[in-house]
Structure 1
Amino acid sequence: MIIGLHVQVKVDRKLGSTHPEHANIVYPLNYGYVDGVVGGDGDPQDAYVLDVDQPADTVDGYVVAIIHRKDDNEDKWVVAPKFRLVTAAEVRQATQFQEQYFDDDIWLLQSH
């Protein structure tokens, strides 16, 4: 199971930075990759980082959600330093700056 997995995100797009190809996209959170895990595009697995309110180089945390892009070849992981249940609305709000351009589903661990 991927949700709940402990990972380290190497941040290559820090909070407040702009997208390298689209200057109109500013990152309101840290974004990077999980080294050693290959994503659907053949590159390291991409990850958004929640709950870190300053630019970071690396973040150790837990996968709390997966954004499954139906019109792309890769999913995005959502990581938080402390494992917690998140809502689809919370993930959507945090990642909308970039995910608005894709058709996706958000996969979560459901509480009973």
Structure 2
Amino acid sequence: MGDKGFNTSFEGPLFRELLSRPVRLDRPKGSRHPRFPSIVYPVDYGYVDLKSVDGEGLDVFVGTLPEHRVTGVILCLDLMKQELEPKVLISCTSEEIGIVRNFLEQELHMLVWSSSDAA
């Protein structure tokens, strides 16, 4: 599914390195945002120990596909923080990718661009 002109196979050294690192889930599906308790995470959310633009770990959403692979990348513009930050989708179905995208746009009020190859 991806955007024309972009390679959305999510293979190669960058993605192999990302997948070789443990995912630390700090907000399992159904958990509430620590500062905004009305916001509930619809998919497991956490990070890997690769520094992102905010100086923290690289954010990831982890879905329910049985194979451990990168299924998409979402770039989020957080207008409050004035940051453009990637969110990596690991093992997410097409439905989960849509859910995550909607969550980021509707609940967290971010502007998003995404590319995916989920089944």
TM-score by length of 2: 0.66
Identity %: 30
Q: Is the 8 A contact 1:47 1:76 kept in 2?
A: yes
Report the counterpart of residue 3 of structure 2 in structure 1: none
- Secondary structure of the equivalent of 1:16? coil
Which whole-Å deviations, capped at 9, do the CAs of 1:10-51 have from their partners, x for residues lacking one? Answer: 10011111000111111122100011x111111110001111
Q: How many pairs are equivalent?
A: 98
Which structure has greater strand proportion?
A: 1
Take 2:96 and 2:46, find their aligned partners in 1: how far apart are those partners?
19
TM-score (norm 1): 0.70
| Gapped regions of structure 1 (runs ≥ 5) | 53-59
Report which of the two has the higher share of helix. 2
Asked if 1 retains the 8 angstrom alpha-carbon contact of 2:71 and 2:117, the reply is yes
> Match of 2:54?
41
Structure 1 vs Structure 2 CA RMSD: 2.9
Instruction: After superposition, give the CA deviation of every residue in 1:71-100 in whole Å (9 maximum; x if it has no partner).
Output: 4331111111xxx8x54x651223422342
Please tell me whether the aligned partners of residues 10 and 33 of structure 1 are also in contact (alpha carbons under 8 angstroms): yes
Listed as ranges, the gaps of 5+ residues in structure 2 are: 1-6
Distance 2:104 2:112 in 1: 12
1:78 and 1:90, CA in 2 relative to 1: closer, same or farther beyond 3 A? same
- Distance (whole Å) between structure 1 residues aligned to residue 99 and residue 28 of structure 2: 18
For the Cα contact (< 8 Å) 2:62–2:89, is it kept in 1?
yes
State whether structure 2 residue 24 is matched by structure 1 residue 18: no
CA distance in 2, matches of 1:90, 1:102: 17
Which residue of the other structure, out of 107, 112, 115, is the alignment partner of 1:104? 112
**Larger of the two Rg values belongs to structure:** 2
| Cα 1:70–1:27 shift into 2, 3 Å | closer
Matches within 5 A, 1:43-62: 43-51=56-64, 61-62=68-69
